[in-house]
Amino acid sequence: MTDTTDDPGWTGGQNAFGEFAPGMVHYTDRVLFDEVWERPGLSKRDRSLVTIAALTAMGKMDQLRFHLGFARRNGVTDEELREALLQLAFYSGWPNGMGATAVLKNIIEDDE
């Protein structure tokens, strides 16, 4: 496997796992973020909203923390995120919506 530390592409997997899980690093950085997230069919903003919906529905709060912050960098406003999570609470289960909203609240408060 090639060393990804000098590559200008996505390095989230490398930063998280280093040499511990080279396959996870490769598929996270090179395939998921450098290829899938760069496809022209959806904007990064829309991909963020879709990803947040899926993670909320599955109750994956650890991954949601990253993706809510990433969505903000991709142009989704805090108000849009609050509204999306309210909508998701009715379709993905109230506990998932509450958990996701708590994660967003912590992110926003940490930035203040």
The domain segmentation of the chain, as residue ranges, is 8-39, 44-111
Please give the pLDDT value at position 35: 95
Q: How far apart are CA 69 and CA 36, in angstroms?
A: 19
In angstroms, the CA 9 to CA 3 distance is: 12
Element housing 112 (H / E): none
The span from the first CA to the last CA of the chain, in angstroms, equals 41
Class of domain 44-111: mainly alpha
Residue 11, pLDDT score: 86
Model confidence over 40-92: pLDDT tens digits?
Answer: 999 999 999 999 999 999 999 999 999 999 999 999 999 999 999 999 999 99
